[in-house]
């Protein structure tokens, strides 16, 4: 397992947006800001099976995510890794958990696209920092 530098791990623990980069099937890159959760070993993102990013990770499971410190914008952490698991989340429970983590109003039930929800589980393979 790749260790996250201890003085940067708080960037993964705080509810900051991660910019998740994936490679499209044609080889071009796609980057989007996303909610995420860090459990000390893996990054998890909520997504749906109907969007491009899902197709991207099926074709190329190698991803990279960067997150910067809003208190010191030049400070950032990049985590490269591999989507090692895609977990069905048909009730959108993980989406609701992230909704709460990011301080949005509580949801009654799951998101409208819950039936298509999945959790992308990323195993870090390398980090870089500034």
Q: What is the pLDDT of residues 37-89, one digit of tens each?
A: 999 999 999 999 999 999 999 999 999 999 999 999 899 999 999 999 999 99
Reported as a pLDDT band with limits 50, 70 and 90, residue 2 is: confident
What are the chain's domains? 9-129 (2.30.110.10)
Q: What is the pLDDT of residues 91-114, one digit of tens each?
A: 999 999 999 999 999 988 889 999
pLDDT recorded at residue 108: 82
Opening angle at CA 23, ends 19 and 29, nearest 5:
65
């Amino acid at each position: 397992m790749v260790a996250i530098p201890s003085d940067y791990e708080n960037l993964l623990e705080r509810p900051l947006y991660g910019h998740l980069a994936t490679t499209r099937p044609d080889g071009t890159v796609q980057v989007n800001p996303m909610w995420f959760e860090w459990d000390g070993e893996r990054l998890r993102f909520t997504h749906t099976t109907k969007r491009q990013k899902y197709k991207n990770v099926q074709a190329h499971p190698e991803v990279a995510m960067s997150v910067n410190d809003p208190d010191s914008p030049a400070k950032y952490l990049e985590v490269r890794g591999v989507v090692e698991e895609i977990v069905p989340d048909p009730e959108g429970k993980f989406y609701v958990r992230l909704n709460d983590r990011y301080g949005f109003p509580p949801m009654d039930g799951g998101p409208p696209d819950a039936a298509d929800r999945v959790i992308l589980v990323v195993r870090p393979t390398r980090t870089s920092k500034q």
